[in-house]
Structure 1
Amino acid sequence: MKAHRSTSSHRYKKQVNTAADRNKKPILEVIKKYISPYVERLSKECRSLYCLEISSGTGQHVAYFAPHFPSVIWQPSEVDKSSFSSISAYIEDSAVSNIQQPICIDICEDYTKWEGGKIGKQSVDFMVNINLIHISPYKCTEGLFRNAGQVLKSGGILFTYGPYAFHGKISPESNVRFDSMLRYENPEWGLRDIDQLTTLAMESSLRLADIVALPANNHILVWNKD
């Protein structure tokens, strides 16, 4: 899949998320650990890898990650098209050619409906999803795993980042308060339990390969596609 760049200026439309600025570096270090071996192994084949980001938000993450992986084509996506101009602005300012323009993806829909079938079955090497699972209805999490099981190639990886409950318990107290705040704002939101996610993932041939603790009581969960 060939990347392309926007030639018009979008700088004035850039949005800034302070949490994204804080967490992008530690997230990158974990992603590097898992993606770099794929890049090295396939370098002799002269083949690009493909990474789909679900819920790209402002575009800060994809613009920060992509320059570190020039042989990986990055595809940002958002359900909210009002975010597109900010994502495009970050793409333009990144000065790299391996980020595609954002596409609209409703993760609750089947992948065959995404952008008229732009993302095919077993066409994706990696998926990245940051801060969606706890700030969305559970049906979005179900859609994430269900679709990841379809579009990821065998051996592909799904990275999810955020705060989680572990074996029926939320800790530390700051995460307990955060969970209560989320549920007060929307009863369908809240921290999901890792056991619940593991069961859900197994239904789509995904298995939990690693749990990496990161700052601010967040974790990256690394899921492998069988």
Structure 2
Amino acid sequence: MANKNDSTPWFRDQAGPEDEKHAPATLRNRDAIVSVLQGVLPKDGTVLEIASGTGEHAVYFGEKFPNLTWQPSDPDPDGCRSIAAWTKRAGVGNVLPPLQLDALVSEWDIEKPAAILCINMIHIAPWEASIGLFDKAAKLLKSGGIFFLYGPYFRGDAPTAQGNLDFDRSLKSRDLRWGIREVDDMDALATKNGFTRTDLVEMPANNLSLIYRRD
């Protein structure tokens, strides 16, 4: 049976004009994510999106949150080109040009955002990327700043969907450093870096939204 988890990368063979890439998951999860973000994002300021991928989320969120400035980023040059192409097509004025940011580098020389968001990255990166991400978020966010994570996670106190188990095996078959993380491990990393989880929201396709606030 095919894995129904929506945490899939873009398809290069579906690239549109001007380097646009398409990730099917964005159309399935974007409205559910917006419904959560509406209750947690600040009313104004800049939101830094890490691992923006195709850029489809960035332009959609830019449209849905016109009072916020959206700063997309991705470590992959192809991703950055796709983000720029989607932004140009959408004509969204509050989405900035993408930054090439990698969670594994030591420092980010960027302006401090009001909030940070990361969708579907944690499971397709080594654990060191999660460590780097929380370290940088702690340095960038002021007290009360929101750090939002979305994707598949395991919970020790809840049954695990078969789709997530299958997806985890698939990830590890591609790279042993990848895999679905435990919420408890994310919480421990958050606490170590001065964050408190304020909410956990169950999302479609066996995903979760984890909302952390800077202490």
Q: Match of 2:160, SS?
A: coil
1:167 aligned residue: 156
Q: Match of 2:39, SS?
A: helix
1:141 matches 2:130 = yes
1:151 aligned residue: 140
- Picking from 100, 107, 113, the partner of 1:124 is 113
1:185 aligned residue: 174
1:15 matches 2:21 = yes
1:96-123 CA deviation, whole Å, 9 max, x = no partner? 2111100111111233xx3xx223xxx2
The unaligned stretches of length 5 or more in structure 1 are 1-9, 40-47
Instruction: Work out the CA distance in 1 between the residues paired with 2:101 and 2:81.
Output: 16
1:85 matches 2:119 = no
1:38-80 CA deviation, whole Å, 9 max, x = no partner? 31xxxxxxxx401000001000001000112222111111111
1:33 aligned residue: 39
**Identity score, percent:** 34
- Picking from 61, 64, 72, the partner of 1:65 is 61
Q: Match of 2:211, SS?
A: strand
1:74 aligned residue: 70
How well do the aligned residues superpose, as a CA RMSD in angstroms?
1.5
Flag as ranges the 4+ runs of structure 1 deviating above 4 A.
none
* TM-score between the two structures when normalised by the length of structure 2: 0.88
- 8 A contact 1:168–1:193 mirrored in 2: no
Q: Match of 2:167, SS?
A: helix
- Picking from 181, 192, 197, the partner of 1:208 is 197
1:95 deviates by 2.0
Instruction: Work out the CA distance in 2 between the residues paired with 1:105 and 1:170.
Output: 35
Instruction: Work out the CA distance in 2 between the residues paired with 1:169 and 1:175.
Output: 13
Q: Match of 2:164, SS?
A: helix
- 8 A contact 1:53–1:75 mirrored in 2: yes
Residue type at the aligned position of 1:134 = H
Residue type at the aligned position of 2:100 = C
Instruction: Work out the CA distance in 2 between the residues paired with 1:103 and 1:17.
Output: 19
Instruction: Work out the CA distance in 2 between the residues paired with 1:83 and 1:195.
Output: 30
Q: Match of 1:159, SS?
A: strand
Instruction: Work out the CA distance in 1 between the residues paired with 2:158 and 2:64.
Output: 36
